[in-house]
Amino acid sequence: MTLVVDANVVISALVADSKTRERVVTLEPNLRPRERGSHRRTPRVGGCSTGSGLPGRGNAEATVEPLVWGLRNEIGVAWNGRGEMFVAENGDDNAPGRPIADNYDATYRVRGGAWYGWPDVTANMDPVTSPNYRPTSSTIAPQFVDSERQPRELSFLIDHQASGLQRPEESLVAGLHEVNSSPSKPDVAPRSWGEYADQLFVPEYGGFQWVTNALRDKPAGSRVVVIDTEADGPQRVRPFVQNAKPGLASKQGRPGEGLERPYDVKFGPDDAMSVVDFGVQRGSPKRIADGHFPIEWDRETGVVWRVPLTAY
């Protein structure tokens, strides 16, 4: 890795634009409190989320209604200048229980009333029963019907004939992320960002390794990507900020000197991009034994990175 380290500049990051030219920008810690005053605000949906986690609509006095459904694990929404809504979605994992192998993560366009396919359709709108997503049989939980053991195969959980559900349209997909990249809370660039204006910037948190995909043999995520919001259908997910070498900075012996677990992107009053990075996390079998989620974080490794407009 080529990293620059001092009190203000802590990483050199690679930026690739839509024409695949490469630029180098600097990220610096942004520890200042949020400034008050007029600035671009992200629209908000009134009301609250539903008990199932589905995006809802309504207000404090009205009944909350699901806006869309069939999402597995949505993390963060954003609106572009035309008022179109986007949501980051973490797809299925190749983990015991109901493993789905090599399933993309996605950023979706949100269209009211749409079903997005979960639990029987993958992020790129294929049925989970496709051979493309078949896991190793040892990870599939045994199934019994009338005391008879069934073949170790994935099957639909929904009776699609009875429900009348149709396969979701591919146009709902704004972009497909690499397997286990874990796209998280996105934001849309303001007009001052020139050719990037109104494009969607999505942080990729990365996978949980052995917890969600023990057979994964290469890093995913640990970067910020950009997706065009103007065109229809799935768009190319382009790297915007990433370590010079893909993967976690800590796995390269440089903890705190590069991107680790980027989770949230926001553009502030000065139009600079801020990236919330959770820092170093580790798998912990002991936490499983104690009945907790099997991940723990190293204290004081989180940081807020800042990509100033002048860097672009």
Based on C-alpha coordinates, what's the Rg of the chain? 20
- What pLDDT is stored for residue 17 in this prediction? 32
* Cα–Cα distance measured from residue 173 to residue 104, given in angstroms and rounded to the nearest whole number: 11
Work out whether strand 11-16 and strand 22-29 pair parallel, antiparallel, or are unpaired. Answer: antiparallel
- What pLDDT is stored for residue 33 in this prediction? 35
Domain spans in the chain, listed from the N-terminal domain onward = 11-30+43-311
Residue closest to 203 by CA, chosen among 268, 278, 262, 274? 262
**Interacting residues of 161 by C-beta distance below 8 A, sequence separation 6+:** none
Query: Torsion over CA of 183, 187, 192 and 195, rounded to 10 degrees?
Result: 40
DSSP 285: H
Residue 45 CB burial class (10 angstroms; 0-12, 13-18, ≥19): middle
* Cα–Cα distance measured from residue 240 to residue 22, given in angstroms and rounded to the nearest whole number: 9
Instruction: Say how many Å lie between the first and final Cα of the chain, rounded.
Output: 21
DSSP 161: H
The tens place of each residue's pLDDT in the chain, 312 residues long, gives 333 322 233 333 333 332 323 333 444 444 333 333 334 444 444 445 555 555 666 555 667 888 999 999 999 999 999 999 999 999 888 777 778 888 899 999 999 999 999 999 999 899 999 988 887 766 677 778 888 887 777 889 999 989 999 999 999 999 999 988 999 999 999 999 999 999 999 999 998 765 555 556 678 899 999 999 998 888 999 999 999 888 899 988 888 889 999 999 999 999 999 999 999 988 777 887 888 877 888 888 999 999 987 755
Sign of CA dihedral 214, 261, 174, 161: positive
